[in-house]
């Protein structure tokens, strides 16, 4: 596994809109605030042209988005690349990405949600670690939450322990100024699901090579030419795979079908366990809870499963290193994760 060079003072940070961009006044305020935060810390920001555009959920067409990303990849002054925000249409740029150039110029690339279909193939196709974590827009809040500080430490090469947070934001909030911070309103409560070989109510400890992202997005990759997942898990079968997954708007029925599809496609062979983030917009037409949906498919694997972890759309979220060796401890509704870059 190749780990890009750590971010150092003076390195430039690139921001590009791989899906949607910013045009509303509050979003633009948030963008400029994020730029100022990084500039003030000694990381000059380079923003591509498409970040300040949006039309029907797209910052620009697929070829343009790919070209602006590749400009950041080949710029030797750029140390890290963030996606501006999520969206729905990143897949449109995938055919135009030059993966050979990315392999020749490895850099940390970070984002979440729709960005899954960029960072996941980079890790599984090229054996280059990527970051599943905050999009750049999150860094525009007035006062950074501790999770953002931890995110920066990881980019700077620190292998810190990330501990579960006390509270989380349950849904989306309207922005009035653009500087809004997380609205922490519900207690964090991880849920452990024990396999038959584990003693119930003991601490769950799961170790494996971390791999995952947003389920809604991952399902679009299955069976395409960008899907090299089975080859990846075969290469690292001795380490086992610790899957981290989170869903945006998959209901119970879609969640069951999606997990079943991944299982039957062979993605979960050599797995050591699963950790799921808090679902963003879960619904059910069959009176099925999230736990019931997950267990109905993955329970057959008899592996440890953690639900409601600090990953994904209900912030704050961990910064997950796709491709690194991860160890998760979970007990009493709380937990932590550490990564080893090997």
Coil, strand, or helix at residue 156? coil
Contact 120, 94 (CB under 8 A): no
d(CA 277, CA 282): 12
CA of residue 246 relative to chain centroid, distance: 9
Cβ-in-10-Å burial (0-12, 13-18, 19+) of 205 comes to middle
Cα–Cα nearest to 18, from 120, 92, 77, 73: 92
H helices of 51-168, in order, are 62-74, 99-104, 116-126, 146-155
- The structural domains of the chain, ordered by start, are 12-160 (3.40.50.10740), 163-340 (3.50.30.60)
CA distance 183 to 198: 36
The beta-strand segments (E) located in the chain are: 12-16, 45-47, 78-83, 108-111, 130-132, 162-163, 167-168, 186-187, 191-193, 204-214, 241-246, 271-277, 305-309, 320-322, 325-331, 334-340
Q: What pTM was estimated for this model as a whole?
A: 0.97
Pairing of strands 45-47, 78-83: unpaired
pLDDT tens by residue, the chain, 342 residues: 999 999 999 999 999 999 999 999 999 999 999 999 999 999 999 999 999 999 999 999 999 999 999 999 999 999 999 999 999 999 999 999 999 999 999 999 999 999 999 999 999 999 999 999 999 999 999 999 999 999 999 999 999 999 999 999 999 999 999 999 999 999 999 999 999 988 888 899 999 999 999 999 999 999 999 999 999 999 999 999 999 999 999 999 999 999 999 999 999 999 999 999 999 999 999 999 999 999 999 999 999 999 999 999 999 999 999 999 999 999 999 999 999 999
């Amino acid at each position: 596994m190749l780990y890009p060079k750590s971010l150092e003072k003076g390195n430039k940070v690139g921001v590009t809109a791989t899906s949607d961009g910013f045009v509303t006044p509050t979003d633009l305020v948030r963008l400029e605030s994020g730029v100022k935060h990084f500039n003030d810390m000694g990381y000059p920001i380079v923003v591509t042209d498409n970040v300040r555009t949006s039309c029907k959920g797209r910052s620009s067409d697929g070829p343009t988005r790919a070209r602006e990303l590749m400009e950041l990849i080949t710029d030797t002054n750029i140390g890290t690349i963030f996606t501006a925000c999520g969206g729905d249409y990143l897949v449109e740029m995938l055919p135009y990405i030059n993966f050979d150039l990315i392999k020749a110029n490895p850099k940390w690339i970070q984002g979440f949600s729709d960005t899954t279909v960029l960072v996941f193939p980079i890790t599984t196709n090229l054996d280059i670690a990527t970051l599943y974590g905050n999009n750049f827009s999150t860094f525009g809040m007035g006062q950074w939450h501790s999770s953002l500080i931890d995110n920066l430490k990881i980019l700077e090469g620190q292998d810190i322990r990330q501990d579960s947070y006390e509270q989380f934001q349950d849904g989306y909030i309207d922005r009035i100024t653009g500087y809004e911070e997380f609205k922490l309103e519900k207690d964090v409560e991880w849920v452990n699901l024990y396999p038959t070989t584990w003693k119930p109510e003991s601490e769950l400890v799961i170790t494996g090579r971390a791999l995952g992202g947003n389920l809604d997005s991952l399902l679009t990759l299955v069976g395409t030419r960008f899907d090299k997942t089975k080859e990846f898990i075969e290469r690292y079968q001795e380490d086992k795979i610790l899957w981290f997954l989170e869903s945006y708007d998959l209901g119970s029925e879609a969640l069951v079908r999606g997990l079943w599809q991944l299982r039957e496609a062979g993605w979960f062979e050599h797995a050591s366990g699963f950790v799921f983030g808090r679902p963003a917009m879960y619904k059910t037409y069959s009176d099925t809870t999230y736990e019931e949906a997950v267990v109905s498919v993955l329970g057959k694997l008899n592996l440890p499963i953690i639900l409601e972890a600090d990953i994904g759309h209900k912030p704050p979220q961990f910064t997950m290193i796709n491709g690194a060796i991860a160890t998760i401890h979970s007990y009493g509704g709380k937990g932590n994760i550490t990564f080893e870059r090997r």
